[in-house]
Amino acid sequence: MNLPLSIALRFFRRSKSQTILIVIGISIGISVQIFVGLLLQSLQSSLLNNFVGNSSQITIESDTENPYIEGYEGIIEDLEEFDELTGIAAAADRPATIQDGLKTRNVLLRGFNIDDADPIYNIAPRIYEGEEASGDLEAIIGKELNDELDLDTDDTLTIFGIVKKGEDNMAVNRTFKIVGFFDFESEGINNQWIITTIESVQEMFNMNKTVTSIEMQVEEDLLYEADEIADDIDKELDLEDDGLKISNWIDENQQLLNGLQSQGLSSLFIQAFVLISVVIGISSVLAISVVQKQQQLGILKAMGITNRSASLIFLFQGLILGIFGAIGGIVLGIFFLWGFTQASASDFIVIQYNPIFILASAAIIIGSSVLAAVSPAIKSSKLNPIEVIRGG
């Protein structure tokens, strides 16, 4: 075993410039694989965090003309038995309007228990001025909405709504104290949402002890199983019998999901093509090396080296090229990703350096390098020393 390895290293040393160029070529190929793989993985994660991570992933609502859910506290107690859920919050939502001078604009008044809603919407860290709405008729508004209204904390805002009473509609209004301002980094939310307490919405719209939805989040590693978890909840709680329906982010965001799946598939294709090109390159280089080293191999065989040892020389060369190429590729790939984050003006994508993916990529390329050396190794074992020496 030591002799073939020693000969393989000697072959490399005698053609240092060629060896260095081969390793650089392999490293660049692997760096592209790692760069593309980690970048697309990070992009998918960022997309999910921005569009799904800080929102309701499973939602229970009324399936009748009456939009209110009665006995929601008991439903929440039943939901707490599901270990897959990391956040459960009731919400009382009602469309409303506000006036800004002569202009009237529509808003969505959202009533939460902030402590329950925080694991879902991450509200507290998004309040950049003031504090949470915790008392009756206290509210917080979004950054873009306040850019129009130009309010300060402790200012008041009158909110108008409609309450259905029998066949008639009755106008209601309440004056809310603005205690803080939030920024969800979403213009739509910052323009539309006014967040207050559940009790404030219930009192204003005469909802009694009801809410309009129960919202949930699942464990991060179960995100793509939200539809299955929703089905389990539906069956366990018999929601249809209570006039309720359950929805999940997967069923409501098929286009996003298809886009993420297509993105993942394209990433696999790119990585596969890079891997194939690296394997072909290594195999070609070693095949040429067999031709270049025919005379040396013939002499070695004449001196007693076995066919097995001759094959091992090139298998070792493939292994060595794979190892150094993998190391160089990892270093270059991480460097390219670092450069991308420095050059990118947006912090939308947070690069996640997945060690499992990096190590798996390195292991695959090393294994592929050895595999690429099989054909040259077989050719070297079939060399006839007498014919080689005569021809040399």
pLDDT tens-digit series, residues 157-213: 999 999 877 777 889 999 999 999 999 888 888 999 999 999 999 999 999 889 999
Q: Are residues 226 and 265 part of one domain?
A: no
Choosing from 242, 265, 281, the residue where a domain stops is 242
Mean per-residue pLDDT, 347-354: 73
Q: Do 133 and 237 reside in the same domain of the chain?
A: yes
Q: Do 83 and 228 have their domain in common?
A: yes
Tell me which of 323 and 279 has the higher pLDDT: 323
Residue 251 included in any domain: no
Q: Are residues 149 and 220 in the same domain?
A: yes
- Indicate if 218 and 118 belong to the same structural domain: yes
- The answer to the question of residue 54 being in a domain is no
Give me the pLDDT at residue 281, please.
Answer: 75
Q: Same domain, yes or no, for 106 and 18?
A: no
- Is the whole-model pTM more than 0.85? no
Query: Is there a domain that residue 342 lies in?
Result: yes
Q: In this prediction, what percent of the chain has a pLDDT beyond 70?
A: 88
Same domain, residue pair 91 and 8: no
Does any domain span residue 59? Answer: no
Distance CA 359, CA 330 (A): 9
Is residue 58 assigned to a domain?
A: no
Q: 385 falls in which pLDDT band (50, 70, 90)? A: low
pLDDT attached to residue 296: 65
- Residue 94 sits in the same domain as residue 213: yes
Name the DSSP letter for residue 111.
Answer: E
In the prediction, which pLDDT does 60 show?
A: 94
End-to-end alpha carbon distance in the chain: 28
Print the domain residue range for 19: 2-49+257-391
Length of the chain: 392
pLDDT at 389: 58
CB within 8 Å of 338: residues ≥ 6 apart: none
CA distance 51 to 275: 33
In this structure, is residue 345 part of a structural domain? yes
**Distance between CA atoms of residues 176 and 190, nearest Å:** 17
Residue 231 has a pLDDT of: 93
DSSP 167: T
Spell out the residues 6+ positions from residue 193 whose beta carbon is closer than 8 angstroms to its own. 107, 108, 110, 141, 142, 184
Residue 246 phi, psi dihedral angles, 5° rounding:
-125, 135
* Model confidence at 5: pLDDT above 60: yes
Residue 55 falls inside a structural domain: no
Which residue in this structure is represented by tokens 């007693």?
Answer: 304
**Percent with pLDDT over 90 in the chain:** 32
Give the position of tokens 């129960």. Answer: 214
pLDDT higher at 321 or 107: 107
* Structural contact between residues 392 and 294, judged by C-beta atoms closer than 8 angstroms: yes
Residue of higher predicted confidence among 385 and 8: 8
Q: 213 and 104, same structural domain?
A: yes
Distance CA 330, CA 2 (A): 28
Co-location of 94 and 141 in the same domain: yes
The per-residue b/e assignment along 149-177, b for 16 or more CB within 10 angstroms, e otherwise, is: beeeeeeebebebeeeeeeeeeebebebb
Domain boundary among the residues 207, 242, 277 is at 242
Look at 141-145, 234-238, 316-320 and tell me which has the smallest mean pLDDT: 316-320
Residue 148 lies in a domain: yes
Per the CB < 8 A criterion, the answer to whether 169 and 162 are in contact is yes
Round to whole Å and give the CA distance between 193 and 287.
Answer: 67
Would you say 97 and 146 are in contact if contact means Cβ atoms under 8 Å apart? no
Count: domains in the chain? 2
- Indicate if 293 and 349 belong to the same structural domain: yes
Residues 218 and 122 in one domain: yes
